[in-house]
């Protein structure tokens, strides 16, 4: 069995306990992980706080911080295949996806490396003639970065990159489900030469790790990607330390297809939107809203593509859909599919747990026209697509916005004017037109409504990890008069 360690204050440690990680393709244990508890968390946060104020890190120029990030980016690129294989082994995400995604992660660190010495203050045109006033942006403090198991190296990069560029220090908590690649990534942080305590990486469960971290009195900001219920615990806990938060909480993203669209292209994008990563993606296009005139053709295209998807071992490059990460996730998906069918949805394809080892689930399509299906409201986080038709643009917009979430949306149409109208009307943080799942370090990413707040990517993300200090300088050489002497 492989064995992994936490990374605290520049050293690798086994932590207070250990637990086994299971291979999603077989259900069997394959590695031992360090289980961080309150003592480990406290040590990590205190190390991050010391590194913020003492030693080498606060004395580095922004350009020097950028050079460390460039070095980290190079190491990620050099070790991308090793990291990809670990992520595939520990989470079940297929090797084709992990390889491509981790290779791109290096670009996020390069982007924020270049941004590190471009976070500027300003001189204010103050209304007092004998005063010079300027602002400077300083690191917000110790950041608790909570990262889920899916796309974890990417989701860590969009937090680590801007936070380190801004001069913060971090304690990163990897999910207890599939933490291997992020724990291995700690070795690259160490090799890059970041001072001890600047980046700390651990994993653990519930109150003993996650809650202890987000409630810690020395944590100034919590950056979280995950589910809404956990986010509510974090927000309630932030009342203890008054930490600011940035929350990316998933969604129930609409995928709108109008009858004038290139349906073959739309179908390919829809397959990628819902079946890539076995549907375990925060932006999964899980609600297909298709104009009634195009519905029959779209369903035929999608069912044919879904039924010939290659399901298999995630380390096999021929595999197109791998297993779900955990058994409980598969049980949740099957239960939601069953409830949706009972509520009147029609099964187009899939919908049954296959025989054999591992936590596999087939690409599934539900026709929900005329049904009050729970699949239209609840997030599966799996390879299940719910289909509804519409008759007008106004109805399409109403259906798209009929959700508590607001992370992403897709629009497929050849009408430029419609694309503009509909993209303005949809209440989500990201809208893709005639494409889907495109990301870039340059572009902000985040949601509306119950999909959270704050942005990851772009300059805005780096500024979120700073606070503004205002400095006043009196420029007059005249003595300040005694305020208690009447003149």
Sign of CA dihedral 123, 124, 125, 129: negative
Assess if residue 485 is contained within a domain.
no
Q: Regarding beta strands 131-139 and 122-124, do their DSSP bridges make them parallel or antiparallel, or are they unpaired?
A: antiparallel
Average confidence (pLDDT) over 117-137: 97
For residues 160 and 166, give the distance between their C-alpha atoms in angstroms, rounded to a whole number: 10
**97 tagged catalytic:** no
The mean of the pLDDT values for the chain is 96
The percent of residues above 90 in pLDDT, for the chain, comes to 95
For residues 216 and 201, give the distance between their C-alpha atoms in angstroms, rounded to a whole number: 16
pLDDT, tens digit, for every residue of 223-239?
Answer: 999 999 999 999 999 99
**pTM for the predicted model, two decimal places:** 0.95
Assess if residue 484 is contained within a domain.
no
One DSSP character per residue, 284-344 reads: ---EEEEEHHHHHHHHHHHHHHHHT--B--TTSTT-SB---S-HHHHHHHHHHHHHHHHTT
Q: Which residues contact 129 (CB under 8 A, 6 or more apart)?
A: none
pLDDT, tens digit, for every residue of 420-449?
Answer: 999 999 999 999 999 999 999 999 999 999
Average confidence (pLDDT) over 248-258: 95
Average confidence (pLDDT) over 384-411: 97
Verify that 97 and 227 share a domain, yes or no.
yes
For residues 394 and 381, give the distance between their C-alpha atoms in angstroms, rounded to a whole number: 28
CA nearest neighbour of 462 among 226, 116, 224: 116
Verify that 29 and 48 share a domain, yes or no.
yes
For residues 49 and 142, give the distance between their C-alpha atoms in angstroms, rounded to a whole number: 6
In 157-271 the beta strands, taken as DSSP E runs, fall at: 169-174, 199-203, 219-225, 244-248, 254-257
Verify that 464 and 390 share a domain, yes or no.
no
Q: Regarding beta strands 2-3 and 29-35, do their DSSP bridges make them parallel or antiparallel, or are they unpaired?
A: parallel
Verify that 54 and 141 share a domain, yes or no.
yes
The total number of structural domains in the chain stands at 2
Verify that 299 and 172 share a domain, yes or no.
no
Residue with structure tokens 């941004």?
115
Query: Cβ distance 22 to 210 under 8 Å?
Result: no
Q: Which residues pair with 219 in a beta bridge?
A: 142
Assess if residue 483 is contained within a domain.
no
Assess if residue 101 is contained within a domain.
yes
pLDDT, tens digit, for every residue of 152-186?
Answer: 999 999 999 999 999 999 999 999 999 999 999 99
Query: Would you say residue 122 has pLDDT above 80?
Result: yes
pLDDT, tens digit, for every residue of 471-480?
Answer: 999 999 999 9
The pLDDT of residue 16: 86
409: its two tokens? 């949306």
For residues 259 and 246, give the distance between their C-alpha atoms in angstroms, rounded to a whole number: 38
The pLDDT of residue 15: 81
For residues 429 and 445, give the distance between their C-alpha atoms in angstroms, rounded to a whole number: 7
For residues 374 and 227, give the distance between their C-alpha atoms in angstroms, rounded to a whole number: 18
Verify that 239 and 264 share a domain, yes or no.
no
For residues 445 and 456, give the distance between their C-alpha atoms in angstroms, rounded to a whole number: 5
Verify that 49 and 82 share a domain, yes or no.
yes
Query: Cβ distance 2 to 21 under 8 Å?
Result: no
Using the CB atoms, write b or e for 172-184: b if 16+ within 10 Å. Answer: bbbbbbbbbbbbb
Verify that 228 and 90 share a domain, yes or no.
yes
For residues 111 and 151, give the distance between their C-alpha atoms in angstroms, rounded to a whole number: 19
Assess if residue 67 is contained within a domain.
yes
The pLDDT of residue 486: 76
pLDDT, tens digit, for every residue of 65-84?
Answer: 999 999 999 999 999 999 99
Assess if residue 444 is contained within a domain.
no
Residues in the chain, total: 487
Sign of CA dihedral 131, 136, 142, 144: positive
Q: Classify 135 as helix, strand or coil.
A: strand
- For the beta sheet containing 122-124, the strands, ordered from the edge strand earlier in sequence to the opposite edge, are 122-124, 131-139, 466-474
pLDDT band for position 487 (50/70/90)? low
For residues 377 and 186, give the distance between their C-alpha atoms in angstroms, rounded to a whole number: 38
Verify that 219 and 141 share a domain, yes or no.
yes
The CA dihedral of 308, 314, 315, 319, to the nearest 10 degrees, is: 10
379: its two tokens? 């997030």
CATH number at residue 195: 3.40.605.10
CA nearest neighbour of 246 among 223, 262, 271, 268: 223
Q: Which of 85, 87, 176, 248 is catalytic?
A: 248
The pLDDT of residue 176: 96
Which domain, by its residues, includes 344?
254-433
Question: For the chain, first and last CA: distance in Å?
Answer: 84
Verify that 235 and 259 share a domain, yes or no.
no
Consecutive H or E run containing 365: strand 364-367
CATH number at residue 329: 3.40.309.10
pLDDT band for position 371 (50/70/90)? confident
The pLDDT of residue 87: 96
Verify that 215 and 317 share a domain, yes or no.
no
The percent of residues above 70 in pLDDT, for the chain, comes to 100
For residues 293 and 258, give the distance between their C-alpha atoms in angstroms, rounded to a whole number: 9
Q: Which residues pair with 349 in a beta bridge?
A: 365
- 3-class SS letters over 98-126: HHHHHHHHHHHHHHHHHHHHHCCCEEECC
Higher pLDDT among residues 372 and 419, named by residue:
419
Q: Which residues pair with 131 in a beta bridge?
A: 474
pLDDT, tens digit, for every residue of 38-64?
Answer: 999 999 999 999 999 999 999 999 999
Verify that 243 and 390 share a domain, yes or no.
no
Query: Cβ distance 442 to 111 under 8 Å?
Result: yes
Assess if residue 439 is contained within a domain.
no
CA 467 to chain centre: 23
Assess if residue 477 is contained within a domain.
no
Q: Which residues contact 267 (CB under 8 A, 6 or more apart)?
A: 298, 301, 302, 305
Q: Regarding beta strands 17-22 and 29-35, do their DSSP bridges make them parallel or antiparallel, or are they unpaired?
A: antiparallel
């Amino acid at each position: 069995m492989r064995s992994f360690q936490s990374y605290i204050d520049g050293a690798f440690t086994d932590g207070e306990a250990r637990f086994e990680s299971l291979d999603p393709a077989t259900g069997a244990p394959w590695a031992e992980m360090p289980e961080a508890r309150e003592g480990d968390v406290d040590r990590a946060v205190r190390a991050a706080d010391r590194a913020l104020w003492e030693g080498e890190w606060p004395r580095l120029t922004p350009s020097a911080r950028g050079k460390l990030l460039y070095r980290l980016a190079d190491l990620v690129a050099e070790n991308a295949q090793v990291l990809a294989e670990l992520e595939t082994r520990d989470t079940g995400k297929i090797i084709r996806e992990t390889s491509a995604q981790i290779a791109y992660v290096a670009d996020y660190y390069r982007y924020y490396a270049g941004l590190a010495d471009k976070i500027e203050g300003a001189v204010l045109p103050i209304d007092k003639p004998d005063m010079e006033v300027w602002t400077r942006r300083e690191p917000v403090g110790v950041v608790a970065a909570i990262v889920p198991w899916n796309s974890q190296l990417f989701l860590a990069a969009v937090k680590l990159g801007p936070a380190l560029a801004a001069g913060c220090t971090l304690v990163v908590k990897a999910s207890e489900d599939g933490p291997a690649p992020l724990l291995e990534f700690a070795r690259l942080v160490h090799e890059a030469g970041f001072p001890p305590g600047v980046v700390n990486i651990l994993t653990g469960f519930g109150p003993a790790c996650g809650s202890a971290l987000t409630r810690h009195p020395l944590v100034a900001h919590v950056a979280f990607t995950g589910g809404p219920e956990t986010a509510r615990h974090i927000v309630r806990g932030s009342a203890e330390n008054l930490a600011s938060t940035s929350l990316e909480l998933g969604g129930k993203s609409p995928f709108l297809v109008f009858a004038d669209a290139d349906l073959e292209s739309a179908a390919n994008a829809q397959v990628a939107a819902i079946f890539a990563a076995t549907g375990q993606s925060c932006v999964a296009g899980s609600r297909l809203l298709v104009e009634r005139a195009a519905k029959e053709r779209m369903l035929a295209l999608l069912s044919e593509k879904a039924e010939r998807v290659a399901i298999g071992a995630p380390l096999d490059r021929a595999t197109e859909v791998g297993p779900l990460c955990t058994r409980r996730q598969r049980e949740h998906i099957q239960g939601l599919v069953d409830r949706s069918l009972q509520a009147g949805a029609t099964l187009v394809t899939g919908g049954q747990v296959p025989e054999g080892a591992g936590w596999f689930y087939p690409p599934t399509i539900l026709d929900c026209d005329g049904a009050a299906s729970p699949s239209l409201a609840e997030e599966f986080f799996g390879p299940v697509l719910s289909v509804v038709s519409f008759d007008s643009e106004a109805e399409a917009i109403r259906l798209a916005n009929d959700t508590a979430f607001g992370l992403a949306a897709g629009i497929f149409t050849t009408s430029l004017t419609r694309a503009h109208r509909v993209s303005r009307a949809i209440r989500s943080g990201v809208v893709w037109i005639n494409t889907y799942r495109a990301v870039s370090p340059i572009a902000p990413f985040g949601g509306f409504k119950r999909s959270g707040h704050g942005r990851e990517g772009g300059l805005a993300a780096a500024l979120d990890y700073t606070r503004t200090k205002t400095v006043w300088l009196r420029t007059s050489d005249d003595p300040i008069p005694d305020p208690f002497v009447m003149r």
